[in-house]
């Protein structure tokens, strides 16, 4: 259901994005309609169209906000190129999972906002620092972003299975261990590892090996 009407205030792209993110947290991605966002912002729906042509544009702004807030700071900080990429990956994971409904937006619109473009440029900077040429850095950047966002989306989809990560891991481990070992011998043998797929440990394991393969490290 629509979020609670917010107090009337000066309307801007920023305040509309704030309202949409608040609505997302309160009611989930399915509540993000122009009418619902307007109610959360405390304005009439037609007021939104001065700043955004449609809901898709608001959705892009919401996810762009998350990219800028959680992904960019580690990339502009000190440290080696790989440390900065790791920091951005962890920051994005934490930021998106803190707003579970935002994961549903990942594949709903192109990531072409100003913060997304800046993040992409900073990833290219880091990969150039690693010694990659322009074409290889561009291809590697796409692979890194797909790993990061795809992993986050899969983990977010698993968040509702149990109230805590430990319980989710325990539930998956028990389910895998109960499979018939004669039919799925490798799966049962690896149940403990597979049960931990949606964890930061696995997330960074994949990123580190991806970066090592890209750079020949």
| CATH number for the domain that contains residue 42 | 1.10.10.60
Residue 162 lies in a domain: no
| Better-predicted residue by pLDDT, 30 or 50 | 50
Question: Tell me, what DSSP letter sits at residue 3?
Answer: P
Q: What is the pTM of this model?
A: 0.85
Residue tagged 């394991």 (tokens): 205
User: CA quadruple 79, 76, 120, 34: dihedral positive or negative?
Assistant: positive
- Per-residue b/e over 27-41, b at no fewer than 16 CB within 10 Å? bebebbebebbbbbb
HSE-CB for 199 with a 13 A CA cutoff: 17
Residue 112 lies in a domain: yes
Last residue of a domain, which of 52, 74, 99? 52
pLDDT band at 185 (very low <50, low <70, confident <90, very high): very high
147 shares a domain with 103 = yes
Last residue of a domain, which of 137, 152, 167? 152
In the chain, the number of structural domains is 2
How far is 170 from 133, CA to CA, in rounded Å? 44
Q: State the pLDDT at residue 118.
A: 96
132 shares a domain with 68 = yes
44 shares a domain with 75 = no
64 shares a domain with 99 = yes
CATH number at residue 141: 1.10.357.10
Residue 198 lies in a domain: no
Q: What is the pLDDT of residues 79-103, one digit of tens each?
A: 999 999 999 999 999 998 888 788 7
Q: State the pLDDT at residue 162.
A: 52
Question: Tell me, what DSSP letter sits at residue 70?
Answer: I
What DSSP line would sit under 82-110, residue for residue? Answer: HHHHHHHHHHHHHHHHTSGGGGGGTTTS-
How far is 44 from 35, CA to CA, in rounded Å? 8
Residue 180 lies in a domain: no
Residue 66 lies in a domain: yes
CA distances from residue 29 to 25, 61, 96, 160 in whole angstroms, order as listed: 8, 14, 13, 15
The H-or-E segment that residue 208 falls in is helix 200-215
pLDDT band at 16 (very low <50, low <70, confident <90, very high): very high
Domain that holds residue 34: 13-52
Q: Which range, of 3-12, 75-84, 149-158, averages the lowest pLDDT?
A: 3-12
How far is 177 from 97, CA to CA, in rounded Å? 28
Q: What is the mean pLDDT of the chain?
A: 90
How far is 125 from 30, CA to CA, in rounded Å? 36
Residue 77 lies in a domain: yes
94 shares a domain with 20 = no
64 shares a domain with 41 = no
67 shares a domain with 48 = no
How far is 170 from 186, CA to CA, in rounded Å? 19
Last residue of a domain, which of 134, 152, 170? 152
State the Cα angle at 68 between 217 and 82, rounded to 5°: 10
Q: State the pLDDT at residue 103.
A: 78
Residue 164 lies in a domain: no
Residue 211 lies in a domain: no
pLDDT, mean of residues 174-198: 95
């Amino acid at each position: 259901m629509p979020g609670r009407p917010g107090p009337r205030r000066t309307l801007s792209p920023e305040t509309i994005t704030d309202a949409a993110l608040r609505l997302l947290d309160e009611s989930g991605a399915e509540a993000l309609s122009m009418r619902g966002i307007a109610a959360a912002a405390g304005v009439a729906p037609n007021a939104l169209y001065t700043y955004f042509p449609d809901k898709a544009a608001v959705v892009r702004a919401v996810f762009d906000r998350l990219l800028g807030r959680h992904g960019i700071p580690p990339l502009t900080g000190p440290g080696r190129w790989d440390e900065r990429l790791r920091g951005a990956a962890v920051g994005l994971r934490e930021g998106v999972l803190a707003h579970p409904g935002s994961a549903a937006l990942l594949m709903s619109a192109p990531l072409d906002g100003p913060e997304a473009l800046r993040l992409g440029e900073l990833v290219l900077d880091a990969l150039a620092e690693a010694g990659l040429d322009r074409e290889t850095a561009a291809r590697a950047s796409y692979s890194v972003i797909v790993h990061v966002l795809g992993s986050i989306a899969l983990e977010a989809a698993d968040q509702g299975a149990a109230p805590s990560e430990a319980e989710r891991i325990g539930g998956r481990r028990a389910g895998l261990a109960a499979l018939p070992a004669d039919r799925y011998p490798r799966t049962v043998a690896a149940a403990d590892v597979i049960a931990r797929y949606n964890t930061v440990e696995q997330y960074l394991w994949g990123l580190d090996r991806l970066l090592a393969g890209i750079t020949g490290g």
